[in-house]
């Protein structure tokens, strides 16, 4: 049943469940922990990974790139199978378990086993990003089009708040590790990775149990793989005739390169370029999360008056200014101020991008996972290119500041392509 409050709240709860990974593992505690333990015998940042010498931050960037590339390769056919067989819940749960158990595996990463840490962090990324296509695909099946902007925003808001709740608990444990009988902050950090996995599993199982099992009553006959491929091919043929969707995906590819790279590497930037203490980097992440809640709702309401495309364009313009601002940041207060602005547009652009794509899809389509697979493959490929280019520029130039200029270029290209999107839906198109 569309617009059922219990189902909508359950759907949003998956954001609450999995966003602890985004905050603790990708943005806050793990990047700082990795920078501190992934060092050579003399304390330098050039470490050995399966016999190859590489800068620790560059290795982390490349590992993320590899994980998203893997997801981009396997998602399309899996989404076709999910649509054909009515198995979105199954694949959502599968990727959830891969990601959550990998987070639990990070508890055993001490710095002496770099390979284990990189593998677990990469698999956690695979689980997180892989689950999103099946999660996002439920949006069209639980709410009507007029409510998708605000429900998408609510999902992200749940995620930002849930992530903060667990992060604060983990930060207290890390700062007061002695009180809890823990040997040092490193052990407490590893326990935080464990709590992420447990939290992710627990709340996800509740959320997934409330989602519709097979809303279109699909009754598969024949080979899943073959028919899943046929389902995907059918959607691909439809996509080739949808000029607005193709142009939107191209724009999304470029501006999301910037958005996701900032999310994944902001803490590393503050640590390496500004030499900020871990506690201040955590504070920066918290600022971003709290402001992002307001940003998600603010731009959802703005889209009602200005249309989704124009609302996203405004945010891209702000992102461009943030990238140039980051290049010149030298003081900690400047970094905090920039983080607040980033948080505002981060929440808005993520929620609106998902909702906008859901509106562009053909009405009454049963192939929601297949359509969203193109969205999420674009999402993942953009991260592959974004994190790779960011790490490569740092490796070549020796400075992460130069990488921020590349991010500005991504946003500019995204803005240019988005300006070419013309949609028939007045609620989606800029006025």
> Greater confidence, 357 or 395?
357
DSSP states of 310-351 as a string? HHHHHHHHHHHHHHHHHHH--SHHHHHHHHHHHHHHHHHHHH
Mean pLDDT is highest, among 64-73, 181-190, 270-279, for: 181-190
pLDDT band at 253 (very low <50, low <70, confident <90, very high): very high
Categorise residue 225: left if φ over 0, alpha if ψ from -120 to 50, beta otherwise.
alpha
Report the interhelical angle of 368-397 vs 400-418 (nearest 10°).
140
**191-215 burial: b if 16+ Cβ within 10 Å, else e:** bbbbbbbebbbebbeebbebbbeeb
Name 47's bridge partners. Answer: 54
Choose between 26 and 390: higher pLDDT: 26
Give per-residue pLDDT as tens, 92-102.
999 999 999 99
Handedness of CA 412, 340, 174, 159 (dihedral sign): negative
47-56, 201-210, 418-427 — most confident range: 201-210
pLDDT-derived band of residue 255, with 50, 70 and 90 as boundaries?
very high
Is residue 282 exposed (0-12), middle (13-18) or buried (19+ Cβ within 10 Å)?
buried
- 3-state DSSP: the chain helix, strand, coil percent, rounded to 5? 80, 0, 20
pLDDT, tens digit (0-9, with 9 covering 90-100), for 30-54: 888 888 888 887 777 788 788 788 8
* Cα distance between residue 121 and residue 114, in whole Å: 11
pLDDT in tens, 329-379: 777 788 888 888 888 888 899 899 999 988 888 776 767 777 788 888 888
- pLDDT at position 373: 81
pLDDT of residue 194: 96
> What does R_g of the chain's alpha carbons equal in angstroms?
21
CB atoms within 10 A of CB 251: 25
Strand partners, 54: 47
Query: Which tokens go with 403?
Result: 């990488």
pLDDT digits (tens, 9 = 90+) for 268-327: 667 666 677 767 777 777 888 888 888 899 998 898 888 889 999 999 999 899 888 877
Lowest mean pLDDT among 10-19, 47-56, 145-154, 314-323: 47-56
Distance CA 259, CA 386 (A): 9
Q: How many angstroms from the chain centroid is the CA of residue 131?
A: 11
Q: Average pLDDT, whole number, for the chain?
A: 83
Please give the CATH architecture assigned to the domain spanning 7-39+54-212+224-418: Up-down Bundle (1.20)
Reduced to 3 states (helix: H, G, I; strand: E, B; else coil), residue 391 is helix
C-alpha dihedral (125, 129, 131, 132), degrees to nearest 10: 150
Domain boundaries, the chain: 7-39+54-212+224-418
- Predicted confidence at residue 120, as pLDDT, reads 94
């Amino acid at each position: 049943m569309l617009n059922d409050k219990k189902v909508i709240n359950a759907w949003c709860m998956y954001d609450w469940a999995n966003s602890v990974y985004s905050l603790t593992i990708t943005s806050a505690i793990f990047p700082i922990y990795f920078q501190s333990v992934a060092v050579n015998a003399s304390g330098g940042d050039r470490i050995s990974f399966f016999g190859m010498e590489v800068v620790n931050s560059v290795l982390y960037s490349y590992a993320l790139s590899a994980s998203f590339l893997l997801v981009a390769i396997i998602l399309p056919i899996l989404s076709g199978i999910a649509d054909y067989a009515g198995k979105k819940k199954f694949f959502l749960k599968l990727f959830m378990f891969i990601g959550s158990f990998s987070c639990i595996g990070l508890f055993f990463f001490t710095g002496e086993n770099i390979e284990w840490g990189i593998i677990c962090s990469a698999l956690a990324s695979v689980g997180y990003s892989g689950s999103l296509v099946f999660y996002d695909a439920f949006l069209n099946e639980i709410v009507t089009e007029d409510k998708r902007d605000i429900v998408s925003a609510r999902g992200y808001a749940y995620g930002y708040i849930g992530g903060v709740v667990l992060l604060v608990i983990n930060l207290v444990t890390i700062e007061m590790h002695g009180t809890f009988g823990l040997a040092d902050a490193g052990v407490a950090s590893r326990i935080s990775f464990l709590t992420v996995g447990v939290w992710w599993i627990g709340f996800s199982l509740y959320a997934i149990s409330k989602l519709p099992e097979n809303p279109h009553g699909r009754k598969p006959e024949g080979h899943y793989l073959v028919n899943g491929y046929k389902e995907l091919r059918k959607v691909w043929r439809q996509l080739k005739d949808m000029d607005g969707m193709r142009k939107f995906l191209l724009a999304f590819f470029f501006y999301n390169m910037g958005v996701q790279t900032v999310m994944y590497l902001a803490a590393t930037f503050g640590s390496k370029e500004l030499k900020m203490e871990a506690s201040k980097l955590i504070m920066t992440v918290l600022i971003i999360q709290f402001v992002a809640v307001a940003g998600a709702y603010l731009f959802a309401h703005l889209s009602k008056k200005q249309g989704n495309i124009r609302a996203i364009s405004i945010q891209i313009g702000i992102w461009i200014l943030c990238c140039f601002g980051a290049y010149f940041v030298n003081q900690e207060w400047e970094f905090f101020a920039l983080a607040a602005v980033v948080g505002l547009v981060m929440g808005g652009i993520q929620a609106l991008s998902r909702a906008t794509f859901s509106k562009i899809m053909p009405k009454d389509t049963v192939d929601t996972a297949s359509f969203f697979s193109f969205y999420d493959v674009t999402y993942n490929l953009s991260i592959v290119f974004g994190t790779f280019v960011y790490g490569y520029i740092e490796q070549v130039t020796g400075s992460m500041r130069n990488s921020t200029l590349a991010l500005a270029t991504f946003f500019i290209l995204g803005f240019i392509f988005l300006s070419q999107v013309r949609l028939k839906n007045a609620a989606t198109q800029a006025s």
